[in-house]
Amino acid sequence: MIQAPESKPFHRLLLTGAGGGLGTVLRERIKPWADVVRLSDVRDIAPAGPGEEVIRCDLGDRAAVMALTEGVDAVLHFGGVSVEDKFEAIMHANILGLHHLYEAVHKRGIKRVIYASSSHVVGYYPTTQVVDTAAPLRPDGIYGVSKCFGEALSRYYFDRFGIETVCLRIGSSFDEPRNARMMVTFLAHDDLVELVRCALFTPRVGHTITYGVSDNPVRWWDNGAAAHLGFEPRHSSRAFADRFPAGGAWADAGDIASVYQGGPFLTAGPIYED
């Protein structure tokens, strides 16, 4: 007797920004969660494999975003500009594009979005201060401002239409820390995937904001308000402590990139055409 294939929790998940650094990590790791993973990016990415759909989409194109979300159960939104850039580029993808996405999510009746926000929404807090998710926003650049917009927009769509969102204030998610600052902000790839899983599968999240960070020895962020997600990081920057002596990143009190949590983003902008 042939057994029917085991049902997966979701029929179709949408991952935007699938060609980016974090999207590439998530692409393979989220397949057990859905029958079909729909992958989207503004540029060409690797062709679809088993259980995948690939759709090229500009988030600034409202009709294209509406088509992109057809038949989708939940959205992992990692698309958009992820560094400091000219306002026009950030506005197109991170502000206009995000509005298009939430309108499509609302019109399609999709009930949950996992939104890749950023720790740069609080980048102007000093490195000597621990910040929770209720602290006033202090973005360190136009990119950070766009992520503040995203958190506010997602809150509106929850309050107005009941669309649940978990905003992930991601620190620095790489295979390993690349400088002394990342000893604090490091989010291991395994922990990123686990955080996304918790955000997606926790029964009720309402509008939740959480910091995406591993179990590092120095902490700038308090995740107490997001304890209901059940996220327990299993990795730490401790394994790389010999590479970056403690205090080396913030030794120069006259350097704002050393004094504030946003690091080099504080001096990356604004960027103008002329």
> Could you tell me which residues come within 8 angstroms of residue 40 by beta carbon, excluding any fewer than 6 positions away?
14, 15, 16, 17, 18, 54, 55, 56, 57, 68, 79
Helices (H), 96-167: 97-108, 142-161
Helix, coil or strand: residue 164: strand
Annotated catalytic residue: which of 124, 143, 157, 211? 143
Strand partners of residue 261: none
> Could you tell me which residues come within 8 angstroms of residue 93 by beta carbon, excluding any fewer than 6 positions away?
42, 59, 60, 79, 80, 81
Residue indicated by tokens 């009746």 = 109
Q: What is the CA radius of gyration of the chain?
A: 19
Q: Is 143 a catalytic residue?
A: yes
- d(C-alpha 166, C-alpha 207), whole Å: 6
Catalytic positions, please?
143
